[in-house]
Every structure is written in C-alpha cells, then in structure tokens.
Amino acid sequence: MERWVGRVALVTGASSGIGKAIAQSLVCHGMKVVGCARNVEAVEELSEKLKAEKGSLIPIVCDVSKEEQVLSMFEKIKSEFGGTDVCINNAGLSQAAPLLSGKTEQWKNMLDVNVLGLCMCTREAVKSMRERGVDDGHVIQINSGVGHKQYASNPDGHFYSATKFAVTALVDGLRNELSLSKTHIRVTSISPGLTETNFAHRMYVHDPQVAVKKYSAFESLKPVDIADGVIYALSAPKHVQVHEVKINPTEQP
Ligand SMILES: NC(=O)c1ccc[n+]([C@@H]2O[C@H](COP(=O)([O-])OP(=O)(O)OC[C@H]3O[C@@H](n4cnc5c(N)ncnc54)[C@H](OP(=O)(O)O)[C@@H]3O)[C@@H](O)[C@H]2O)c1
C-alpha cells in the first residue's frame, strides 16, 4: 500500500457497515479518504476517532442518487485536494420489494443508488484521474454475491439482485472503455456474501426480527473482511488487475 500513502480515495456510504470499515482501513494505511454519506455526522464521528492514524478522513455530505450533489462533491474534492485517485463505490441498499408486489418507488430508489449513483461517481472519478494524468487510478465497485447468482428462495431481494447484476455488467463495460482509451486505470468488483451491517435492518425496518434471524443463521462476514479484500486489490502491483473478489461466509451455501 506504500504507493497510496497521501493519495486521495473517495468511499461512498462511509457512515456505516462495509464503507465505514473500508474508510477506516484506508486511513490506517495513510490515505486521504473522502467519506460521503447522507448521515455525515456518523462519518464525522469516525473521522474524530481516526485522528491519530497515519491518514485522514474528510466527511462530505452527499446523496449519491442526486446528480447535483455528486457533481458538487467532486468539485469540492478537486478544489480542496486536487482530485480522486481511488474511487470506491460502496453506497447501496436493498428494499424488500418482490417483483409481483414491490412498489415502483422502491425499485427506483434501488436503481438510483446502486446503479446510477455508482455510474455517476465512476464517471466523475475517472474524469478526475484522466485530467490530472493519473494512470494508476483504481475504481472498486462493491457488488454482491447476488450480482452473479439469483437466489429463488428470497423474492424480497430479486430486484436488488438485478441492480447488482447490472453492476457486474458495468464493471466489464468500464474495463472495456478504459482499455479502448489506453489508460491503465484498474477496475475491481468485490462481491460479498452475507455481512453483518445495518443492511438487513434497513431492508426489514418494519420487521426487525427478520434481520436478526438472517445474521444469526450462521456466522456472517464482518465489514473488515470486505475491507481486507479492498486492500488486497489495491496492493496488487501495477501490472496486476484483480477483476473479481468473491468473499462468502464459510457456512453460506
Ligand atoms: N451486508 C451485506 O450482506 C452485503 C452483501 C453484499 C453486498 N453488500 C453491499 O455492500 C454495500 C454496503 O452495504 P452495508 O452492508 O455496509 O450496508 P449499510 O450498513 O446499510 O450501509 C450502507 C451505506 O450506504 C450509504 N447509502 C445508502 N444510500 C445512500 C445514498 N443515497 N447516498 C449516499 N450514501 C448512501 C449509507 O449511508 P447514509 O444512509 O448515511 O446515506 C451507508 O453508509 C452496499 O452496496 C451493499 O449492496 C452488502
């Protein structure tokens, strides 16, 4: 991680769970991390906690589904830190919204954050890298195991799964466009299995027992397990592009 010390990483959704663990790990490795979320107070709290570490965490409030907020976040990063060298698109959510009974508004919300938010941040981050001649930049998309395989036993997650299948396609598309543009910017998809965070609690906000049951069926991953996957991809030598990292709890079928 030596070559990333002092360089700028954006982590979206740094207020909770996986994004919080990634932001913390990158700060400990000496990066200047811009952590965005709607609940910016939680990122500010983490930033305080990490004050004595090698790097720093700069909180920014941003709803990644709102283009004007995304553009103004990138403007702020440009004017204050020069630009982004690493972009980690982690912000995401699932709502319990089966294909036969879900509300259109729930589907739109998942598409706006998991797909369009990720695309807007990716476009702006790569633009920032290219206008500064940063040829070793890295885009990491926090995908999901269900971005590769649908689980018929969970209709609540079918639409969410489709948004993550879109991420899988977008990762390959982005790698193709970067290669056509003759850059060496790398793209990695990280696909976690069940990880204990606020994710299921938010998905089942009206029925908290469902989330409790999910996380107690077997030993889930911890957010730091996914942060370790990010460090693995970022630490690879420049000629090595880690395409996909799938991480599952040992007991998850
Ligand atoms: N937990 C799992 O089992 C699991 C498995 C596979 C993949 N994932 C993926 O991992 C990523 C992180 O999820 P998590 O498990 O850490 O869940 P989490 O604890 O609920 O955290 C989700 C993060 O996303 C942010 N977020 C949501 N909507 C946002 C928006 N419109 N704008 C900006 N930030 C937004 C939240 O911040 P605010 O609410 O403060 O804005 C929060 O920081 C997601 O992409 C998820 O799909 C999770």
pLDDT higher than threshold 90 for residue 240: yes
- Measured between alpha carbons, how far is 48 from 246 in angstroms, rounded to an integer? 32
Considering the chain, what is the average pLDDT of its residues? 97
The pLDDT, as a whole number, for residue 102 is 98
Given ligand 1 and candidates 11, 12, 15, 18, which is best to mutate, with the most ligand atoms within 8 Å of its CB?
Answer: 18
Q: Is the CB of 95 under 6 A from ligand 1?
A: no
List the residue whose alpha carbon is closest to atom 17 of ligand 1.
199
Query: Tens of pLDDT along 47-98?
Result: 999 999 999 999 999 999 999 999 999 999 999 999 999 999 999 999 999 9
DSSP designation for 38 = S
Looking at residue 239, its pLDDT comes to 95
pLDDT at 189 over 90: yes
> Which of ligand 1's atoms lies nearest the C-alpha of 221?
3
Q: Give residue 142 CA to ligand 1 midpoint distance, Å.
A: 9
Count how many residues are written for the chain. Answer: 253
Assess contact for 28 and 2: CB atoms under 8 A: no
**SS3 state at 70:** helix
CA distance 221 to 196: 6
What residues are labeled active site?
160
Cα-to-centroid distance, 252 and ligand 1 (Å): 20
CB distance 154 to ligand 1 below 6 Å:
no
CA distance 178 to 157: 31
CA distance 143 to 126: 19
Question: What's at 238, amino acid-wise?
Answer: K
The rounded distance, in Å, linking the Cα atoms of 65 and 83 is 21
> Comparing C-alpha atoms, which of 62, 77, 112 is closest to residue 7?
77
- Residue 213 to residue 245: CA distance in whole angstroms: 27
The reply to whether ligand 1 has any atom less than 6 angstroms from the CB of 234 is no
Distance, in Å, from the CA atom of 247 to the CA atom of 192, rounded to the nearest integer, reads 5
Residue 64 Cα to ligand 1 midpoint, Å, equals 11
Closest atom of ligand 1 to 89 CA is 45
Per-residue model confidence as pLDDT tens digits over 27-49 = 999 999 999 999 999 999 999 99
At 97-154, the pLDDT tens digits run: 999 999 999 999 999 999 999 999 999 999 999 999 999 999 999 999 999 998 777 8
pLDDT > 90? residue 17: yes
Q: How far is the CA of 197 from the centre of ligand 1 (A)?
A: 9
Average pLDDT over residues 203-228: 95
Q: Which fold has domain 65-247?
A: Rossmann fold (3.40.50)
The pair of structure tokens assigned to 243 is 């395409």
pLDDT on residue 153? 79
Domains of the chain, by residue range, sit at 65-247
Q: Is the pLDDT of residue 253 over 80?
A: no
Interval between CA 29 and ligand 1 midpoint (Å): 22
For residue 137, which of 178, 82, 186 has the smallest C-alpha distance? 186
Atom of ligand 1 nearest to the CA of 114: 45
What type of residue is 151? Y
- Determine the pLDDT at residue 82: 97
Sheet holding 86-89, edge to edge: 56-61, 32-37, 8-12, 86-89, 138-142, 186-192, 244-247
